Amino acid sequence: MTTNLLDFDLEGMAAFCEQLGQKRFRATQLFRWIHQKGASDFEQMTDLAKALREKLALSARITGLKVVSRHDSTDGTIKWLFDVGAGDVIETVFIPESDRGTLCISSQAGCAVGCRFCSTGHQGFSRNLTTGEIISQLWFAEHFLRKHLGRDERIISNVVMMGMGEPLQNYSQLLPALKVMLDDHGYGLSRRRVTVSTSGVVPMIDRLARDCPVALAVSLHAPHDALRSDLVPLNKKYPIAELLEACTRYQSAAPRDFITFEYCMLDGVNDQPEHARQLVALMKTHAANGLSCKFNLIPFNPFPASGLVRSQMPQVMAFARILMDAGIVTTVRKTRGDDIDAACGQLAGDVQDRTGVDQRMAAQRQGMLGGIKVVVLNKDSA
């Protein structure tokens, strides 16, 4: 079995080169070919001696994920479905904006946390993605977009770990992938442009602070433990006070940064003025210990099995007003890619029912999804 070089950060690649009896600097060359130029074949690597290219081809490969389909939204958002084997499908979403291009990446097939408002949570957990599977989403999307848009410069400027899965429950595979994103020989993204979003795995927040303090987003969704435990079951293990203390410690590792709190607005559940006032009080207590935060209110993206309803916009704005009047920077997230189910919590929402997916794919092949451009690809084409 050959080694997939997409599984390595630069350190791992250097160790691999040493095993082959090569100098460590070869790792930098390989890294740049793969991540900066999108090479998938050693023959392309013209500055490596032919003998080395042949040796590499015998022991290594550069294999990305199998693309199942691509969905192009009218607002420019692109969603890919990737087949990760055994009937599991993961999703990656590209969101273009005037000043940036953001890629939303999955970290697991399914998720074990089981939040009530999240369609991935309702699917249950299938497995952790490998480092190669995590970084392949960026490798593929960046080089696909360059080709597609005919541009020979960086397209993806920001990465958010907000696709399927809880990234901090897949820490050992996540960490090397983050390192590739930040590495100057990889994607060269600054740590402020890479965001890990978590439902609150406290010990891993501390590890991330030590190992790789990128931007942190925490899915809060409720101002007190009773409600949060109902929405985010992990709260029973790591309650709000412990979570916010971990956030405060995180900030001391990444001074000058905010922690972003995500708050999914659920009609009649967590969106009342009283909840906003409780949040203000909570944040004031922790601000005194050095926590500085930003709130991102996310209109809930409904799916039938949740039994939950999206808050009305006036309710969201009234909630935001209470936070802002207390001096908390608050944004309301625009939903993007609604027409292709690419919004938060809708990722691979139809995968639970394999028959449903197959029917849907058949409909897509026949071009039956009105108004939405869908491209279904063969297993091996990219």
Binding site for ligand SF4 (CB under 6 A): 111, 113-115, 118, 120-121, 165-166, 199, 219
d(C-alpha 323, C-alpha 283), whole Å: 10
- Inter-residue contact 306 to 262 (CB < 8 Å): no
d(C-alpha 96, C-alpha 155), whole Å: 9
Pick one of 298, 328, 340, 374: the residue that binds ligand SAH (CB under 6 A): 298
Least separation in angstroms between CB 230 and ligand SF4: 13
Q: What's the gap between Cα 179 and its chain centre? A: 15
Please give the C-alpha separations between residue 54 and each of 22, 23, 26, in angstroms, as whole numbers: 14, 17, 15
Least separation in angstroms between CB 18 and ligand SAH: 36
Q: Which residue has 């009234």 as its token pair?
A: 318
- Inter-residue contact 199 to 164 (CB < 8 Å): no
Stretch that binds ligand SAH, among 83-91, 131-139, 140-148, 196-204 (CB under 6 A): 196-204
Least separation in angstroms between CB 143 and ligand SAH: 24
162's contact among ligand SAH, ligand SF4, none, with CB below 5 to 8 A by partner kind, is ligand SAH
Exposed e or buried b per residue across 238-256, where buried means at least 16 C-beta atoms within 10 angstroms of its C-beta: bbbeebbebbbbbbebbee
Q: Which amino acid is at 45?
A: M
Query: Is 264 labeled as catalytic in the residue annotation?
Result: no
Q: For residue 329, what are the β-bridge partners? A: 294
22's contact among ligand SAH, ligand SF4, none, with CB below 5 to 8 A by partner kind, is none
298's contact among ligand SF4, ligand SAH, none, with CB below 5 to 8 A by partner kind, is ligand SAH
Number of residues that bind ligand SAH (CB under 6 A): 15
C-beta closer to ligand SAH: residue 78 or 264: 264
- Inter-residue contact 97 to 40 (CB < 8 Å): no
Query: Is 166 labeled as catalytic in the residue annotation?
Result: no
Q: Does 208 bind ligand SAH (CB under 6 A)?
A: no
Q: Which of 17, 91, 118, 212 is catalytic?
A: 91
Count of residues in the chain? 382
Token pair belonging to 26 = 């070869």
Pick one of 344, 348, 351, 374: the residue that binds ligand SAH (CB under 6 A): 344
Active-site annotation, residues = 91, 344
Task: List interacting residues with ligand SAH (CB under 6 A).
Answer: 117-118, 162, 166, 197-199, 219, 262, 264, 298, 300-301, 344-345
